[in-house]
């Protein structure tokens, strides 16, 4: 080696410090770093090596800073073009990226001095990235250890520090993913727009009420409601389109509306923001050390407008919003916009990993009107979630009792668990249990689940006493593809369904955040829901990290209320925007 390892590493770190002052993402810093390849020793045959020393040094540098395994890094390279580009690989072919074995082999072929350069550079770049809030792993400060009154004060300061660092994460790495795509000379920045959104959420208000308050207080950082609404719609407007997209414009030969374009515009931003949130809680990678369980469910945003022009004559309003569906709640039939979500549950932070708009054929619509297949919704939600975590189990609401939905999970080698909503065919089995002198639970093994008349896989049907008053025969029935469940295991399997505990609280919190609006523009509706969900995720991130560090139960009451957090978020954006 031609240079001193400490000096070579220091030169890289100094350059990284300069880059961290202007860049927001670690991969952008690594992409622009000047790597003195001539000072590095790589014993591989350079004429036969698939990847150059420069590329591999950047890759191993990222691995060391992030603290991830070689296997995980290899997987990320196969699906994340931004990383491939950052390490100077050929971005046109994601299949030709280093494998775990190649990463290990290359590291072993680096000389001791080069490995020292790598180790020193990892430590140095990590520190300057933390100092400049480029590295989101800085979210977890040291845990307070004082006792007595000092402990109480220290814990309080810890909570404050944790929340403030999450707010920094929100400002630098999460909320900016929602780009309004407006002109550079716009009067109100995206930060101002999103500050207004947070304020609306905190006050359970609307664009009009927030704009009116800004006018009354002569607040220069509050725009009028029309400007705000246009900006939010721009987030959800597909590329090269400026107008609201209607179903008539999107109908194809199958009469299925391509509302997907609006969804994809919003979800591109939501997915990038979610990835940044997930990265912030990896640390020692809790997803590798415990079972990762997700829940899929549907929620409703009520729409109060009557759909009928003349119900008795069966005449619906011709301009009634197509994305509004009917649903039943508390014994009443209602109408609303529907959204499906997939959420981490159990011992993880209850982060929403994906959102899908739901469209069902309602009574006021003609037969054959456009709708979304729930099985397809499940497939897309699983695709979203698996971008971020490796799932072990998926739990469904009873509304997803569909063989094809279960098949989508089974094909991914994931376990599913779902209640059976109506089980007239199972009443005989339940009666047998009731008449049995000792047994109060039962299992039906190897039940064939068919797709298009052919057996796709076999499942277990579990029968267990129900605490629900409306359960037929006072029994609940669950279906799972878990390998053979013995009667003695039924209780533990079914009790695991309680890990969905937070879904209803999740939806309540998100709805509390949702801005009030009468608009039927679906861009606004979906974007409102996605941004409100994102704020929920940030609040849950803060709560989770504090609880983990203070050894509190994940299911214990929140250490910071949702309202307090969202109010602080709006103030923080305003102060630093």
Count of CB atoms situated within 10 Å of the CB of 166: 29
Position 429 scores a pLDDT of 54
- What's the CATH fold of domain 247-512? Transposase Inhibitor Protein From Tn5; Chain A, domain 1 (3.90.350)
> What are the E-state strand segments in 397-505?
415-419, 442-451, 454-465, 475-480
Distance CA 189, CA 175 (A): 13
Q: Which two tokens stand for residue 366?
A: 């003609």
Distance CA 23, CA 428 (A): 66
Position 219 scores a pLDDT of 85
Count of CB atoms situated within 10 Å of the CB of 14: 12
Residue 267: name the closest of 178, 328, 345, 197 by CA.
Answer: 178
Count of CB atoms situated within 10 Å of the CB of 170: 28
The pLDDT averaged over each successive group of 10 residues in the chain (577 residues) is 84 93 83 91 88 90 80 74 74 72 90 92 88 61 47 65 76 80 79 85 88 86 90 82 49 51 88 82 50 91 92 89 87 91 86 92 84 91 90 90 94 93 56 48 86 93 70 73 88 83 82 91 92 91 78 80 83 64
Position 142 scores a pLDDT of 44
Where along the chain do its domains lie? Answer: 5-134, 148-238+518-576, 247-512
Position 301 scores a pLDDT of 93
Contact 477, 493 (CB under 8 A): no
Contacts of 227 (CB under 8 A, 6+ apart): 187, 188
Position 428 scores a pLDDT of 54
Q: How far is CA 78 from CA 49, 62, 188, 389, 414, in A?
A: 19, 15, 39, 15, 21
Contact 321, 370 (CB under 8 A): no
Distance CA 239, CA 243 (A): 11
**Helix 503-513 vs helix 562-576: angle between axes, to the nearest 10 degrees?**
40
Contact 151, 144 (CB under 8 A): yes
Position 252 scores a pLDDT of 43
Contact 398, 418 (CB under 8 A): yes
Tokens 């515009």 locate to 265
Position 114 scores a pLDDT of 92
Contact 192, 526 (CB under 8 A): no
Distance CA 148, CA 446 (A): 58
CA 297 to centroid of chain Cα atoms: 14
Position 24 scores a pLDDT of 73
Position 251 scores a pLDDT of 45
């Amino acid at each position: 080696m031609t240079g001193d390892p400490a000096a070579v590493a220091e030169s890289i770190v100094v350059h990284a410090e300069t880059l961290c002052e202007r860049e927001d993402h670690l991969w952008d810093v690594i992409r622009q770093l000047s790597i003195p390849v001539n000072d590095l020793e790589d014993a591989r045959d350079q004429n036969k090596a698939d990847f150059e020393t420069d590329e591999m040094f950047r890759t191993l540098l990222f691995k060391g800073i992030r603290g991830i395994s070689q296997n995980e890094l290899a997987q990320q390279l196969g699906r994340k073009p931004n990383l491939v580009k950052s390490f100077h690989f050929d971005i046109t072919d994601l299949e030709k990226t280093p494998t775990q074995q190649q990463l290990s082999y290359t590291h072993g072929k680096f000389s001791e001095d080069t490995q020292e350069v790598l180790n020193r550079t990892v430590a140095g770049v990590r520190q300057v990235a933390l100092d400049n809030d480029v590295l989101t792993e800085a979210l977890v400060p040291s845990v307070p250890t004082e006792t007595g009154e000092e402990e109480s004060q220290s814990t309080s300061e810890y909570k404050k520090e944790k929340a403030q660092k999450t707010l920094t994460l929100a400002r630098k790495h999460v909320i900016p993913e929602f780009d309004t795509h407006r002109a550079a000379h716009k009067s109100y920045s995206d930060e101002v727009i999103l500050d207004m959104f947070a304020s609306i959420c905190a006050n359970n208000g609307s664009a009009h009420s927030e704009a009116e308050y800004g006018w009354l207080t002569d607040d220069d950082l509050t725009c009028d409601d029309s400007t705000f609404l246009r900006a939010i719609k721009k987030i959800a407007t597909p590329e090269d389109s400026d107008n609201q997209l209607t179903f008539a414009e999107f109908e194809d030969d199958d009469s299925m509306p391509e509302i997907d374009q609006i969804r994809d515009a919003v979800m591109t931003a939501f997915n990038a923001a979610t990835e940044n949130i997930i990265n912030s809680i990896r640390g020692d990678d809790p997803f590798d050390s415990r079972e990762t369980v997700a829940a899929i469910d549907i929620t409703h945003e009520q729409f109060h407008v009557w759909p009928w022009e003349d119900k008795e004559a069966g005449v619906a309003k011709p301009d009634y919003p197509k994305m509004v569906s009917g649903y039943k709640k508390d014994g009443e039939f209602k109408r609303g916009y529907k959204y499906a979500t997939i959420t981490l549950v159990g011992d993880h932070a209850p982060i929403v990993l994906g959102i899908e708009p739901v469209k069902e054929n309602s009574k006021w619509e003609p037969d054959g009107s456009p709708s979304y297949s729930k099985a397809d919704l499940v497939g897309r939600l699983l695709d979203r979630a698996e971008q971020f975590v490796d799932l072990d189990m998926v739990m469904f609401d009873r509304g997803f009792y569909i063989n094809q939905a279960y098949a989508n999970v089974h094909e991914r080698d994931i376990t599913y668990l779902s209640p059976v909503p109506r089980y007239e065919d199972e009443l005989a089995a339940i009666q047998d249990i009731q008449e049995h002198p000792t047994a109060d639970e039962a299992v039906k093994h190897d039940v064939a689940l068919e797709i298009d008349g052919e057996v796709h896989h076999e499942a277990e049907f579990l029968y267990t006493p129900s605490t629900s008053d409306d359960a037929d025969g006072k029994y609940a029935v669950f279906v799972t593809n878990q390998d053979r469940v013995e009667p003695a295991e039924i209780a533990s399997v079914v009790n695991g369904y309680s890990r969905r505990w937070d879904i209803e609280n999740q939806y309540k919190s998100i709805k509390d955040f949702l801005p009030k609006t009468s608009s039927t523009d679906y861009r606004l509706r979906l974007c409102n829901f996605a941004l409100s969900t994102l704020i929920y995720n940030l609040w849950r991130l803060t709560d989770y990290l504090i609880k983990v560090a203070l050894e509190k139960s994940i299911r214990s009451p929140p250490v910071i209320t949702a309202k307090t957090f969202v109010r602080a978020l709006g103030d923080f954006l305003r102060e630093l925007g």
